[in-house]
Amino acid sequence: MKIIDKYLLKSFLITFTSVFVILFFIFVLQSIWLFIAELAGKDLDFITILKFILFYSPIMVPLVLPLSILLASIMTFGSMAENYEFAAMKSGGISLKRAMRVLVYCTLIMSLIGFLFSNNIIPEAQYRFVNLRKSILQTKPAMAIGEGQFNKIGTTFNIKVEKKSGENGEFLEGVTMHMKKNEFSPVTTVIRAKRGILKSDDHTNILQLDLIDGYYYEDIYSQKIEERNKMPFAKSSFKKYTINIDLAMLNGTNQDSGEVVNAHNMLNMSELKYTIDSLELNFKKDVLSYSENLDQKTKEANGLNNTQSLLKVNQSSSNDFNKDLLEVFTPDKRAAIKEMAKSQVSNSVFSIDGYVFDLEIKRNYINDYWISFYDKLIVAYSCMLMFFIGAPLGAIIRKGGVGLPIVFAVLIFITFNFANTFGKKLAGQDAIHPFIGVAAGALLLTPLAVFLTRRATNDQNVTINLDWLVDPIKNLFSKLNLNDLKTQYEKTSLDTMSINYDDPDYQDLLKRDTNMLIEMVSKALQFGYPNLYRKKALKILESRGITQDELELENKLIDLDYLEIYYLTEEYKRTSKAALVFFVLTIVFASLVKLKILFGLFAAIFIVFTFIFIFKSTTYVTVIENKSTEKTLINKIILLVGAFPFYPIFYFYNQSKIKEVVAEYKK
């Protein structure tokens, strides 16, 4: 290995190790918050908590490893490009392609390690993690329930206890339970008990709760609407009431007993392939069985109908089969035949819907195994992909350190992770092939990796112009300065200017009479003339003996009234547009609060900015009204009070009125 290869490898590995350790710690810490309720205040010993974290940590490696490679490669190559080390290499005959070679081999080794880790270590860690949770819940059943708060167990139970006691906290006092019929129904049953006892068995997933000395309240759903308005309920007391809670709801599995061993995230590729083959075979058998059942029902129905039809046809004296077949039967039998046909169709539709639903569930279950199978391969590919994005990107942007590289790395990784999550969701619902779903992020970013690698190895920069995105945002927050605006139209020196008779502007202006030129100078802003064009008109007036001092004395140098109203209207437009943007953002993020509480925080911030800019815009509206004969603008109080939800209506109304104000001053 040459010295340059050792230097590159050392720089990359040092950066990679630092980044990996930091990111791994952050990701693990963030993930532990998902289970903090299970760990805090549960009387668990330090060794158990350490095992809990240790068994969960490997799950983070497929996320952290590609991101670390991406960030390390951007930082390493960006730092070398920034310090002109690559320029020195190129002067010595070492191209970027040659410099990347040793790191490509290094990344290949990391990809292999990532694959082996994903295929062997993570399934074992998942197995130990889930069964550790199950073991903790069975040996310490009260761990699932915290004191003084409602604890959700599964999708149908909520339980609150005032106090726990006993060696494992199995004796409960002051028990309140809310029960629902299913996940989406409201609470229909409330149970209050003075005491409770938790019991568990090492050989089952069932947690038994014995409630002692309490009351049972249940809402009664009546078929009659008038009875529902009375809100009837049943109440009873009990000395002892036993409820069985399935611990599989907490473990994320539906095993009835024993260890959890066959979840799709606990198997390596060979075990997944074997399981998938078995599931696919059973799926085909189910399809064949359902089709045979439908065929059999159809034959039985047709046989019954044919027999009845033949009997009736034989009894009928009519041999005219050109008419409606129902006319062959007697009138009193036609209604019965129609009802029989409807019943058979309804039964068939009901059976088909049931079969389709059952097959969809089984197909989605199989897709989960396919997703886990392909995911182990994509982990290895994503490591190589991130290197071929990060290395050329670092050489192009020529920035090291932790500033710009982190911005690019986060944007790329969020895109990659979002595409993968969205793809897996669609694949799990059988909307797309599992491989496409798992590889969605890789398929999206592979063209970018090819493009950046080709540009970097050919010493071609990538120009990214974001002015189309940045400029509108700048305009929303960049306040127009009235003094600067006045300065543009004040007295200015024209000594350096001379009349160029070949200039089309001068040719046009020389044809105008003096009064027209004076009006053009005074109302240059109204007419939309550029400042240079106005100066050329001033130069011609100067050649005709009319100076800027004379124009200023006669208030004809610039229309100050229009200049001020122009400033006010432009500021109103800016602040009202900003208010409208923040109004829309508030509505969008408020509608997403159910998905994540963080969106509620953003909505609160945006609503504050909305009212700030509404207040600013209404201030300009008040001044405009005072200077204009237009009195139909919506005033400050109405705008502030009716901002939600009517601000868009106010915005477009005032915008149209502002145009009328400006038109009034242009006359």
Contact between residue 170 and residue 181 where contact means Cβ atoms under 8 Å apart: no
Q: From start to end of 247-313, where are the E strands?
A: none
Beta bridge pairs of residue 195: 173, 212
Q: What is the pLDDT of residues 109-130, one digit of tens each?
A: 999 999 998 889 988 888 888 7
> Is residue 17 very low, low, confident or very high in pLDDT (cuts 50, 70, 90)?
very high
Q: What is the pLDDT of residues 643-660, one digit of tens each?
A: 777 788 888 888 887 887
247: phi then psi, degrees, rounded to nearest 5: -70, -15
pLDDT at residue number 382 = 92
Q: Is the peptide bond before 62 cis (omega within 30 degrees of 0)?
A: no
Amino acid identity of residue 639, one-letter, is: L
> Is residue 149 very low, low, confident or very high in pLDDT (cuts 50, 70, 90)?
confident
Secondary structure of 162-217 as H, E, C letters: EEEECCCCCEEEEEEEEEECCCCCCEEEEEEEEEEEEEECCCECEEEEEEEEEEEE
Percent of the chain with pLDDT over 90: 7
Contact between residue 560 and residue 598 where contact means Cβ atoms under 8 Å apart: no
Q: How far apart are CA 152 and CA 160, in angstroms?
A: 9
List the one residue out of 393, 383, 390, 445 whose CA is nearest residue 107: 383
Q: How far apart are CA 525 and CA 133, in angstroms?
A: 74
**Which two three-digit tokens encode residue 66?**
């590609």
pLDDT at residue number 310 = 45
pLDDT at residue number 224 = 60
- Pseudo-torsion of CA 86, 92, 98, 99, nearest 10°? -40
Residues 6+ apart with CB under 8 A from 257: 203, 204, 205
- Rounded to an integer, the average pLDDT of 536-545 is 89
Concatenated DSSP letters of 484-542: HHHHHHS----TT----TTSHHHHHHHTS-HHHHHHHHHTHHHHT--HHHHHHHHHHHH
- Rounded to an integer, the average pLDDT of 18-29 is 86
- Produce one character per residue of 72-98: b if its CB has 16 or more CB atoms within 10 Å, e if not: bbbbbbbbbbbeebbeebeeeeeebee
3-state SS, residue 59: helix
Q: How far apart are CA 383 and CA 460, in angstroms?
A: 25
Lowest mean pLDDT among 18-22, 43-47, 291-295: 43-47
Q: How far apart are CA 479 and CA 27, in angstroms?
A: 41
Give the H/E segment covering residue 244: strand 233-246
Lowest mean pLDDT among 166-175, 301-310, 318-327: 301-310
pLDDT at 210 > cutoff 70: yes
Q: How many residues does the chain have?
A: 667
* pTM given for the model: 0.56
List the one residue out of 185, 246, 184, 175 whose CA is nearest residue 219: 185
pLDDT at residue number 321 = 47
Round to the nearest angstrom and report the end-to-end CA distance of the chain: 82
Q: How far apart are CA 482 and CA 587, in angstroms?
A: 34
Give the H/E segment covering residue 640: helix 636-641
Contact between residue 664 and residue 628 where contact means Cβ atoms under 8 Å apart: yes
